[in-house]
Amino acid sequence: MKAPDLELGLRCEDAEVRIGAKALLSRATVRLAPGRVTAILGPNGAGKSTLLSVLSGQREPTAGRALLDGRPLRAHGMPALALRRALMPQESAVAFDFSARDVVALGRYPHRLAPAPDEDAIVAAAMALTDVSALAPRVLNTLSGGEKARVHMARVLAQLWHPRADGAARWLLLDEPTAALDLAHQHAAMRLLRGWAGQGVGVVVVLHDLNLARRYADEVVVLGVPDIPGGLCQGPTAEVLAPPLIEAVWRMPCQSVVGADGIEQYLFG
């Protein structure tokens, strides 16, 4: 019998997800500490969303394990988990004509048994953060893709709004939150996530834009790296995300330039 593992943080060890003979994720080991922005990167089909669903407790790995603060995610219980971990999905059709405000308010569902004194204010403030206050009365399904994404981001922010009374870290997982956003909203969203990480929230975000990752992520997890067991590479963004690795993973010529503001950017092709 092993001693209880009390390491704080979110991690998975040798996590594998198989459906039949097909491996959606193979032997992934990732350790995440709260208070940082971690970007999950990789080509299509590398298992980014699967890794996120394992880390959220939504999917149980078929082999290996996923732990939050040393306990298997599922052992926390889904209702308790919902109080400190939110996942923004990639696609999100909502049945019936719920308004944008209704959808954000659903983020408060886990707190319905012990509501905060300012439930309505939380919903309004979360909508203001992602710039969707003006859309509040609109029916969600009539909004554009980018507007929907911002409404759902407000929903997951509302879900984790207040720090936990027990001091446990909150975890915000997002699957390509910037994919449908315009340039200004992409950067606004990433700055917002950085701000939340600054308050001690663990932010894990799947991205396709390497420049966004380079600029805003403390750490990256790259999937689909050739010639590495498990194909997974984790480390500080500036160290890991170098042009040779990018060329090996995405098979695109890549060079890095430093702009006038001193920020490194990648050029492709």
Site residues (vs another protein, CB under 8 A): 56, 58, 78-83, 86-87, 89, 92-99, 102-103, 106-107, 109-110, 112, 137-139, 159
Cβ contact 156:107 at 8 Å: yes
CA-based nearest residue to 12, from 57, 52, 64, 66: 66
For residue 176, the minimal CB distance to another protein (Å) is 15
Residue with tokens 């911002």: 150
Cβ contact 264:214 at 8 Å: yes
251's tokens:
């098979």
CB closer to another protein out of 133 and 211: 133
C-alpha 26: how far from chain center = 20
For residue 148, the minimal CB distance to another protein (Å) is 12
Q: Which residues pair with 11 in a beta bridge?
A: 31, 67
For residue 173, the minimal CB distance to another protein (Å) is 9
For residue 181, the minimal CB distance to another protein (Å) is 20
For residue 109, the minimal CB distance to another protein (Å) is 5
What 8-state DSSP symbol labels residue 69?
Answer: T
CB closer to another protein out of 96 and 167: 96
CA-based nearest residue to 223, from 60, 37, 26, 68: 26
3-class SS of residue 26: strand
CB closer to another protein out of 16 and 175: 175
CB closer to another protein out of 109 and 268: 109
What are the two backbone dihedrals, phi and then psi, of residue 39, each rounded to the nearest 5 degrees? -100, 130
CB closer to another protein out of 36 and 84: 84
Q: How far is CA 39 from CA 32, 48, 54, 104, 244, in A?
A: 11, 10, 15, 24, 18
Cβ contact 246:252 at 8 Å: yes
For residue 101, the minimal CB distance to another protein (Å) is 11
For residue 157, the minimal CB distance to another protein (Å) is 14
Question: Could you tell me whether strands 232-236 and 22-32 are parallel, antiparallel, or unpaired per DSSP bridges?
Answer: unpaired
CB closer to another protein out of 162 and 191: 162
CB closer to another protein out of 61 and 107: 107
Question: Could you tell me whether strands 202-206 and 37-41 are parallel, antiparallel, or unpaired per DSSP bridges?
Answer: parallel
CB closer to another protein out of 83 and 154: 83
CB within 8 A of 211, min separation 6: which ones? 265, 266
For residue 187, the minimal CB distance to another protein (Å) is 26
